[in-house]
Structures are given as structure tokens and as C-alpha cells.
Amino acid sequence: MKSVIAEDLVKTYRDGEVRALDHLSLDVEEGTVLGVLGPNGAGKTTTVRILATLLKPDSGRAMVGGIDVIKHPDKVRQIIGLSGQYAAVDEILTGYDNLVMFGELYHLGKKQAVLRANELLERFSLTESAKRPIKTYSGGMRRRLDLAASLIVKPKVLFLDEPTTGLDPRGRLEMWGVIEDLVKGGTTLLLTTQYLEEADQLADEIAVIDHGKVIARGTSDVLKKQVGGERLEIVVEAAHIEKTQAIVSKVSGNKSSVDAGIRMVSAPVSTGATALIETLRELDAAGIHPLDVGLKRPSLDDVFLSLTGHIAEEKEEAK
């Protein structure tokens, strides 16, 4: 069953001057994670806001949990959780106060709200800072609290808009851990991101969007295949570059290229690990000891490049 369906969504701003969504369609299978991947200005936030009932599309249809978002926004709000692009919690209140307040607004009643708040604080390792105002929190703590606030009533469908943008690498890893745990619990998740590795890491399926349209979708493996197979990469001493190049070309059957700066010889290969082993054997026979070897699968950056013909460019984001 599809938990989220968006069909032909169109949204324009400034009297049609800015076309944020241009017939965008996507869907999310129940219990899975869809990563919506696109550069700044691609239309990610607009999509999420429409699905979360905050914005009405100019045209198109959207269903969440089988409920029409445009016709019954109130019902949709009862089954979704949303964590926006900017951690939307009350800076002045403490983490605990925030969660209790939102719990009460979900009509849990004071007692339940307090229980749930403590439970969530514990789960997101925020118990120690629970009684401090949010303005003293780090970026990662804020995002975790924001996520906690969107989980108060165990939503059927969760929307996370760029959950790790602006976090340092450690904050990002923590957030990934938290999201992975959530997903194990069976939550249906639509997550947007500008980071290719993030979609790769967290999503079952990826929809690549650009200029308000879905330009490709599939599992990250499928998307990568679309770009071509793997690449063999070998780093050697400068003196061995030429010989290595000859070997790699011979094994791969493809023209190899050299990055002299990092002394890396590389070539596309279709046989993967077999090609790698054969190359190593030949290098060994020639008395060459590689400094580093690897089989590189194409990154999603490569995917974007090959899909759009341009690298992920940023559209100016109007505020």
C-alpha cells in the first residue's frame, strides 16, 4: 500500500513567475523510506509543506495515509509528524517544556504528555539537557529535539526536511543513527536531502528532483547502474604509472586515465572484483606494489551529473 501519493503537483510563487513544482509526482510505499534528493531550490521544501498540509498546490493531488491532503487537512494532521528544515522548537522554553507543550497540544493530557516527553528525551539522549532552554543547545541537539517533537504521537507518516543540513559530521552521524532506529520501527518516512550519501545511507528508494520535477527514481543501486558500472582505481609510485596504465587498460579492455597529481590510474570495468584481482596479479608479476587500490561505485553525484547533464547547481532560494 502507498502511504504517500503525490500526483502532478504544481506550485508557483509570485504570480507564476517562480515555478517551484512542475508536475511533480512521487509515492512512498508503506513502511519504507523515500529519499527526495535535489539541490537547493529544487522544490523539496515546497513538496514537504504541501504533503504536510501547510501549503496548497495550484493543481495536482496528494494523499497521505489514504487521506486527501487538500480536502481533509485536519485528518492528515492527526497521522503525520513533521520536522522542518529549520529546527522549529521554542528557543526560550526548555527541551522538556517544549515536548510537554506539544504533547498537550496533541491532546495527550498533562500526565501522558509528561511521560511521553521524558521517554523521548531519554531516547534521543537529551535527558541531561532537558531543563535547559533550547537556545543553549547545539545544532545537533536542536534537531534531535525537533525530531522528538514530531514523534510525540507515533505518526504513521513522518516528513523530515533536510534533517542534517547545517550539522557537523558528528551531529550528522548521530542523526543518521536516530533515523535508522526509527525506520527499523516501521515508520514510513519521506526525507529530503541535498546530500547524496545521506540518501544512499537512509533511503530504500530515491527520487531525484530538479527544477520541481522528478527526473529519476529507483534504489540507489539502480540509479548508479544507470550511470554505468564500476571504476577500478589504483594508486602507485610515480615511476610505475606508465606500466600500471598499460596493465589496467589491458585487463579492463577500456582506455584508462591518469590523475598525475594523486598518481591514480583508473578505468571503467564491467567485471568488478574479478578485474580487480586480475589487475593485482599482473601488477605483482610486474613487481609493482600499489599504494592503494579500490573499486569505486559511482557516487550519486555522478548520477546527478549524468541525469541532468549539469552538476547539482543551486537555484537562488527566495525567502
Partner 1 sequence: MSALLDIRIITQRQLRLLTRVPEVLIFSTIQPVMFVLLFRFVFGGSIDTGQPGGYVQLLMPGIFVQTVAFTLAGTASGLAEDLKKGLIDRFRSLPISPSALVVGRTLGDSMLNIVVLVVMALAGLAVGWRPSSGITKILIGFLFLFLFGYALSWVGIYVGLSVSDARVVQNVGFMVTFPLTFLSNAFAPTTGMPRLLQYFAEWNPVSTMVAGCRELFGLQNEFGATAGSFPSENPLLMSIVYMGLIMLIFIPLSVRKYKNASN
* Chain contacts with ligand ADP (rule: CB under 6 A): 13-14, 18, 20, 38, 40-46, 315, 317-318
Options 101, 114, 215, 305; binder of partner 1; rule CB under 8 A: 101
Query: Taking CB positions, which residue lies at the least distance from Mg ion?
Result: 45
Count residues near partner 1 (CB under 8 A): 32
Options 58, 59, 88, 286; binder of partner 1; rule CB under 8 A: 88
**84 sits near partner 1 (criterion: CB under 8 A):** yes
**45 sits near Mg ion (criterion: CB under 5 A):** yes
Q: Is 239 exposed, middle or buried (0-12, 13-18, 19+ CB in 10 A)?
A: exposed
**245 sits near Mg ion (criterion: CB under 5 A):** no
**Which span (52-60, 64-72, 244-252, 258-266) binds partner 1, by CB under 8 A?**
52-60
Q: Which does residue 74 bind out of Mg ion, partner 1, ligand ADP, none, counting CB within 5 to 8 angstroms by kind?
A: partner 1
**144 sits near partner 1 (criterion: CB under 8 A):** no
In whole angstroms, the minimum distance from the beta carbon of 282 to partner 1 comes to 58
Q: Which does residue 137 bind out of Mg ion, partner 1, ligand ADP, none, counting CB within 5 to 8 angstroms by kind?
A: none
In whole angstroms, the minimum distance from the beta carbon of 44 to Mg ion comes to 5
Chain residues in the site for partner 1 (CB under 8 A): 49, 52-56, 74, 77-78, 80, 82, 84-93, 97, 101-102, 104-107, 133, 149-150, 319
